[in-house]
Amino acid sequence: MIKILANDGIHPDGLLLLEEAGYQVDTEKIAQEDLPKLLPAYDAICVRSATKVRKDLIDACPNLKIIARGGVGLDNIDVAYAREKGIEVYNTPRASSRAVAELVFGHMLALARNLHISNRVMPTKGNTEFKAIKKATAGFQLGGKTLGIIGFGRIGQESAKIGIGMGMKVMPCDLVINHADIDINVFKSQDVSLTVKLETSKWDDVLAKSDFITLHVPSGSKPLLGKEEFAKMKDGAIIINTARGGTVDEDALLEALESGKIGGAGLDVFVGEPTPKQALLDHPKVSVSAHIGGQTAEAQSAIGMEMAEQIIDFFGEQ
């Protein structure tokens, strides 16, 4: 019998699919330091971001055939080394794309209408300073604004769909993708369809012309947006980062927020998670969330199902 360790959990829908295929799936978490002793008994491991599958653990598990990552990023897995050893490495890029894109716009709308501030002050001052809060939190609309999308893969393209639907001018930027056909689907309608062909723009043009910039790129060796890039942006531009902590220079961002060069930031990811800089959490121009990009009921189900389908495709039904 195929044995699978879902060490960071798996949605019940994915678990059921694997069990119906005849696999043994263990969901009780094994501490990282105990994995070299216990993981060799398994044929596959399913992880999220918490469990690390590095070279030393791979070497300790000669029977391991699959490492499945629920989510997009593979930072916690030594992917190249695993594949050298003949181990398949899967992730689930399709499953959470819409969830992350919707979170991007949650932060954008919060910052545009100052909801992040209203939600802090209304509970304590709403009864006594209602009119002052109303005046202080006046905002602006997204329609007509320019949305720069850095990284035009699945999540970037989902973000483009929403931006187009809200009447924004969308400027994507990507090192590999030159254009994409964005299909705008009208809910529950078979009679209406729209395809928008978007060409990618030059990096400096995206920086200079965007009112909002959202990042959808993997981790790199240095921040993609820092002091030099902020200087090229419009005064008051807003940054959204739901990608990875470290893609934005947080110290430079704080300086730019204080000077007014950057008008606001929506942050779902941070350097040093799970202990973000307190200055970012407290800042009145920052809308924050706790790395919840894929944390929707629909996305979690889809992630579990996608992982299960990949594993079943490899091993077959038992």
Omega cis (within 30) before 223: no
Amino acid residing at 260:
G
Catalytic residue among 102, 129, 255, 291: 291
Half-sphere exposure of 134 (CA within 13 A, CB side): 5
Active-site residue, 273 included: yes
* Cα separation, 107 vs 159, whole angstroms: 12
The CA distances from residue 84 to 55, 75, 78, 80, in Å, are 11, 17, 10, 6
Indicate if 244 belongs to the active site.
yes
Q: Which two tokens stand for residue 287?
A: 């809308």
Out of 20, 84, 228, 273, pick the active-site residue. Answer: 273
CA atoms of 170 and 146, how far apart (whole Å): 6
For 303-313, letters b (16+ CB in 10 Å) and e give: bbbbbbbbbbe
Our answer to whether residue 291 is catalytic in this structure is: yes
Q: Which residues are within 8 A (CB) of 278 and not within 5 positions of it... i.e. 6 or more apart? A: none
Q: How far apart are CA 103 and CA 87, in angstroms?
A: 33
Strand 146-150 versus strand 286-288 pairing type? unpaired
Could you give the 3-state DSSP secondary structure of residue 89?
A: strand
Tokens of 102: 């919707």
Catalytic residue of the set 154, 244, 283, 306? 244
- Catalytic residue annotation: 244, 273, 291
